[in-house]
A = this chain, B = another copy of it.
């Protein structure tokens, strides 16, 4: 019997923890003779691009676990029925009994097709989905490994930006990853310590984006404070669902047919120009937080631990020959419990930020969201602290 590990979709800061958790637990359980890794996910399977992880020293694995990114590489391939049949052919040839695939909801869908096809031909294959996505959009989960570390990065980023724009006033527009769900953009709110702290406006895909309302919002904050810090999801769209980025730029698509929203500063630059020209504000900065959000090597310790645990759980379920998707459920404030649900329950579904976490204005999150997020971002998440000192009376009179 051989267990195969692989990884699909975008990397996170804690992928390697899940990988190492699965390897070490599988060794401990002793129900698998060999442990393989597929390079570049399903693409590596059809190419028989496997490495043998059975005897990699534990000391090496522990060093590997601390690194961001996907050590087994990844793929954007989204297999159809024919592609899956090719995968099965290779898995059978290599006598794979369990396939543990780390990824988001596309990954879960791939496993669902595979396990259905395997059952149809009487091939005893256990498929376990190990959850990860910085988008935090998997259903059946309180949150998803990878998200806490990215939220930590975004929170810290806006904490610094808040200080920066206080030093040299202006308008700052920061574009954050997130196509359909605003979870990561919402994390920018962690930067606030006092009422006037930024971000002052948060735009998520859960609400339609209207340019005139946006400009009015920015002007109101700027008039009041002399500065305005804005966090915007890359996926913000108009009332028809068309991405704002799409309204002025021809866009590339990825192999899934998704329009690519990351990898360009175009949205931030476009919004900056609008503010500059419509509101006549001189100092307007457009930053795009970019790929650092998912790969910066400063993971949340909570995220590291949970990513390790979902990997370990996947190995456990595989040893019990149970197919499904590993889940994280919150118990109290703050502990978690792990479980397993049907692949079909998770596959292809998207969980957006619920209304209960969004303020009435639609441009902020509320205290309930912050209570949800705070335990995730790490025990050493930084707190801002402002200097307070009395003003000195003026002496010279103009």
Contact = CB atoms under 8 A, between A and B. Distances in A.
Interface of A: 7, 10-11, 13, 16, 36-37, 48, 50-53, 56, 60-61, 63-64, 66-76, 89-90, 93-94, 156-157, 159-164, 166-168, 172, 252, 262-266, 268-269, 272, 282, 284-292, 294-298, 382, 384-392, 394-396
A157 B290 CA distance: 11
Contact of A389 (B48, B52, B75): B52
B392 A164 contact: no
Contacts of A159: 68, 297
Given A269-B264, A292-B161, A394-B48, A37 B285 contact: no
A272 B284 CA distance: 23
A282 B263 CA distance: 12
Q: Which of A71, A297, A390 has the most CB of B within 10 A?
A: A297
Contacts of A93: 395-396
B392 A156 contact: no
A11 B60 contact: no
Contacts of A10: 167-168
Nearest to A15: B167
Given A50-B391, A69-B167, A285 B296 contact: no
Contacts of A292: 157, 160-161, 287, 289, 292
A340 B286 CA distance: 39
Q: Which of A13, A266, A384 has the most CB of B within 10 A?
A: A384
B269 A56 contact: no
9 contacts: A13-B160, A61-B387, A66-B382, A93-B396, A156-B296, A265-B265, A265-B269, A265-B288, A285-B290
- 8 smallest A-B Cβ distances: which pairs? A265-B265, A69-B163, A160-B295, A287-B290, A263-B285, A50-B392, A51-B389, A70-B167
Given A52-B392, A386-B64, A296 B160 contact: yes
A386 to B, nearest CB: 7
Contacts of A71: 386-387
A265 B75 CA distance: 27
B282 A387 contact: no
Given A90-B396, A156-B297, 15 more contacts: A16-B387, A51-B390, A52-B390, A52-B392, A60-B388, A63-B385, A67-B163, A69-B163, A69-B167, A76-B168, A161-B291, A263-B272, A265-B266, A285-B291, A288-B290
A161 to B, nearest CB: 6
Contacts of A392: 36, 48, 50-52, 94
B297 A160 contact: yes
A341 to B, nearest CB: 27
A109 B268 CA distance: 35
A388 to B, nearest CB: 7
Given A264-B272, A288-B287, A387-B71, A163 B37 contact: no
A160 B68 contact: yes
A168 B73 CA distance: 7
A156 B289 CA distance: 14
B291 A263 contact: no
Given A11-B167, A68-B160, A70-B163, A263 B287 contact: yes
Contacts of A163: 11, 67-70, 295
B297 A382 contact: yes
Nearest to A53: B389
Given A167-B11, A282-B252, A385-B64, A395 B296 contact: no
A161 B297 contact: no
Contact of A74 (B51, B167, B290, B390): B167
